[in-house]
Structure 1
Amino acid sequence: MSKRSTMTMAAVAVVCAVTVLVAPGAAFAAPAPPASPDPSSSPSASASAPPSASAPVETKDLEAVRKKIEKLYHDAAVATDAYNLAEEKADKQSVEIVKLAQKIAAGQEKLDRLEASAAAAAREQYRTGGIPREAQFLLSGDPQQFLDNAGRMHQGQLATKNLLGQMERTQKDLSEYAADASAKWKDLEQGRKKKAAAKKKVEKQIKEAQALESRLEKKELERLAKLEAEAARKAQTAWLSSGVLKDIDGKATQAGKEAVKFATAQIGKPYVWGAEGPKSFDCSGLTSQAWAAAGKPIPRTSQEQWKQLEHIDVKDMRPGDLVIYFDDASHVGMYVGDGSIIHAPRPGRNVTVAGAGTMDILGVVRPDA
């Protein structure tokens, strides 16, 4: 098979492959809430579930359930970040592959034109018996005609050399584009596998947490909610008692005000992992979309927001800054002033206002530094 045919097939293959990848049907949907499982079918749930569905649950046992559920949702948040990062990379790689495919197609068209010019020159040489028309004029006895035709012949030689050089460079470019597209395609396939693995883990953790909650009676669920609220209140009180709030007096920038305005408008919308609006959000989907609405695109995931955005001391934070939580940067909320954040907490919860100190703060980052 000729190199030209190989290049053409490569361009077509890349375009077709990318079209399949970015088709709407290939997107992952958020998992539907599972049906209440059989108590005997989930070993991990049984280990943390109340002893009997009819017997009241001791407070200490319910607290253990709360911590177990909290850990499961935390692990789901970590997996969600991995899923979101893989999705973000896949989107970028898809765009790059499409651009390469366009370059391959344009390069092939250019090569076709150059080959047509070369073929025309070859046909002209054949018609003149192998001697270029200009070279035949060199045999003329007229000195002026000789000089004129010598100049034309030199220009023709330069044009031929330039034509061959362009063909060689274009073929080299096509080879490089094809190799680059192939490498990015492999990366895209690896990212797809990581995304699928992360999706599976997210679903597993959420189902286990929901299974634990489904085992509780209505009154126990109410007590569980009170325990969650009490734990958050104690954490916020301890944070405020440190005196940190008296040092926080930063004023929001115009972009920060726009980001806060966007986040505030989303209050009440449900948390859905992997979602970035407009009807539902996960934690970093909310913050990234809020800053996009303010005209400042930022990384999609809380971990990348922590890695890439400028770090700010807690005492210097201002509305619009992002508070990153836990050692693995698996959660994020937007500071809105008065010691509060707006965030998308976890599955089963809605976007809400909470105390900035209700979770373990890793640090603060500033999108518009």
Structure 2
Amino acid sequence: MTALVAGTPAVAVTVADRPVPERSTAGLLAELRRLYRQTEAATEAYNATGEELDRQRARVRRLDRRLAAARRSLRDGRTAAGLLARQQYRSRTDLSPYLRLLLASDPRQALDQGHVIRRVSLERAATVARLTGGERRADALAGKARRALDAQLSLAGRRAAQRDGVRKRLRGVEELLASIGDEELGRIAALEREEAAGAQRRLLASGALDGVRPPTEGGAAALGYAVRQLGKPYAWGAAGPDAYDCSGLTSRAWAHAGRAVPRTSQEQWARLPRVPLGRLRPGDLVVYFPEATHVAVYLGDGLVLHAPRPGAEVKVSPLAANPVLGAVRPDPEERPLARARYTPPELPEGALDGPDDGYGGN
């Protein structure tokens, strides 16, 4: 969290009709950052539950199809069993097979008939066995379908609660922003830009980003898609095409390149192979904050493209504009393009000039 800066003017604000003690510009910036991080963490939890809910809905659909097929098979089996029962009743006799053989006018024919009777009996037994097994399968599938539906309803309820949590946190941001005057907001934004510039200078001076590396074909496609989204608004839970949150942009960009990646920044960090900052190539994903609550697409030359936060638009920023956790690579097994084959995407005018802060509100 940002330390207080000596000499920074202090201001008094009011949030939700409650007076808040005077705080410095740095203190207000720290509070805004805390609220934004909490909002982004809640948004990513909402996204993760949504992804899990989609998987659960697909499981319910599969089980429903299997259960319907099992019930059709069971219905057919019961029809066959009923037919066998009627046939058995009509052909019932009190004579034993031995007596029928002795009384037959043609013993050979009687033996043949006995063979047929045995085959019919075996078929009857198999039909009964299939019927019994079908009933067990249908009962088991019905139980699984009920449990799967219960899980789906539970996930839906959890997602609704998370949605309400995100909205509550966004209201907290909006209330704080509304309580701060334009002049003070300008000082907050200037302080944030100054700190980001300092972090970027230190990162570049460390040599961590030395060297130019071309992307893979997929990385170039993902980056090209992301560039075409510049200027579109941030919206929590959005994955395009009209608006994005941070991981909605990165997951959709790589999906456009033909590579499925997890929907959330935490899962992207947890499941994709890590890559040192010194080996970054365009298209890699840079993950931020200890909780992995923000993610961006690496553009090259120490720049990233991302959906920063509510109130802002998809834009290009210095890689160190937020505290870096690390980087991951969606396609580690692919070979990079030859340098001569790669032309960095052309950025529209003002791609770097848009606000990172989002302090203008939603």
What amino acid maps onto 1:267 in structure 2?
A: L
Q: Give secondary structure in 2 for the equivalent of 1:47.
A: strand
Supply the AA of the counterpart residue of 1:172: R
Could you tell me how far apart the structure 1 residues matched to 2:134 and 2:213 are?
56
Q: Which residue of 2 aligns with 1:10?
A: none
- CA distance in 2 between counterparts of 1:200 and 1:276 reads 19
Residue identity matched to 1:206: L
Say if 1:128 and 1:147 are closer, same or farther in 2 by CA, change over 3 A: closer
SS at match of 1:363: strand
Q: Note the C-alpha offset of 1:147.
A: 2.7
Q: How does 1:278-293 map to 2 (within 5 A)?
A: 278-293=241-256
Equivalence for 1:61:
24
Q: Equivalent residues in 2 for 1:256-271 (5 A)? A: 256-271=219-234
Aligned residue in 2 for 1:41: 16
Q: 1:40 to 1:68 in 2, by over 3 A?
A: closer
Q: CA-to-partner distance for each residue in 1:107-164, whole Å, 9 max, x for gaps?
A: 10110001000100111122224679x9997663313212321221222122112212
- Alignment match, 1:23: none
2:169 corresponds to which residue? Answer: 205
Deviation string, structure 1 residues 258-311 (Cα, Å, up to 9, x no partner) = 110111111100000000011000000000111111111111100011111111
The change in CA–CA distance for 1:260 and 1:97 in structure 2 (over 3 A counts) is same
Asked if the contact 2:209/2:280 (under 8 Å) is kept, the reply is no
1:176 is aligned to 140
Contact 1:240–1:357, Cα closer than 8 Å, also in 2: no
Do the aligned residues in 2 keep the contact of 1:135 with 1:153 (CA within 8 Å)? no
| Cross-structure match for 2:71 | 108
**Equivalent of 1:227 in 191, 211, 229:** 191
Aligned to 1:56: none
Structure 2 residue matching 1:260: 3-state secondary structure:
helix
Secondary structure at the counterpart of residue 252 of structure 1: coil
- Do the aligned residues in 2 keep the contact of 1:137 with 1:149 (CA within 8 Å)? no
Alignment of 1:109-258 (within 5 A): 109-129=72-92, 140-246=104-210, 248-258=211-221
Task: Give the one of 216, 226, 239 matched to 1:276.
Answer: 239
Distance 1:112 1:234, change over 3 A: same
Deviations 1:159-193 (A, max 9, x none): 11221221122212212212222222232233223
Q: How many residues align?
A: 318
How far does residue 39 in structure 1 lie from its aligned partner after superposition? Answer: 4.1
The change in CA–CA distance for 1:136 and 1:283 in structure 2 (over 3 A counts) is farther
> How well do the aligned residues superpose, as a CA RMSD in angstroms?
2.2
| Structure 1: distance between partners of 2:122 and 2:277 | 68
Runs of 4 or more off by more than 6 Å in structure 1?
134-137
**After superposition, where does 1:16-31 map in structure 2 within 5 Å?**
none
CA distance 1:42–1:104, shift in 2 (3 Å): farther
Distance 1:130-1:83 versus aligned 2 partners, 3 A rule: farther
Tell me, in whole angstroms, the C-alpha distance in 1 between the residues paired with 2:139 and 2:77.
17
| Aligned-partner Cα distance in 1 for 2:236–2:309 | 8
The secondary structure found in structure 1 opposite 2:241 is: coil
The superposition leaves residues 289-340 of structure 1 with CA deviations (integer Å, 9 ceiling, x where unpaired) of 1111111111110001111111111111211111111110101001111111
CA distance in 2, matches of 1:310, 1:279: 29
Q: Secondary structure at the match of 1:341?
A: strand
TM-score of the pair, normalised by structure 2: 0.82
Once residues 74 and 61 of structure 2 are traced to their aligned partners in structure 1, the CA distance between those partners, rounded to angstroms, is: 20
Q: Which moved more, 1:192-201 or 1:230-239?
A: 192-201
TM-score after normalising by structure 1: 0.81
State whether structure 2 residue 56 is matched by structure 1 residue 93.
yes
Greater helix proportion: 1
Aligned letter for 1:140?
A
CA distance in 1, matches of 2:140, 2:317: 52
Cα distance in 2 for residues equivalent to 1:140 and 1:318:
91
SS in 2 for 1:244: coil
Residue identity matched to 2:175: A
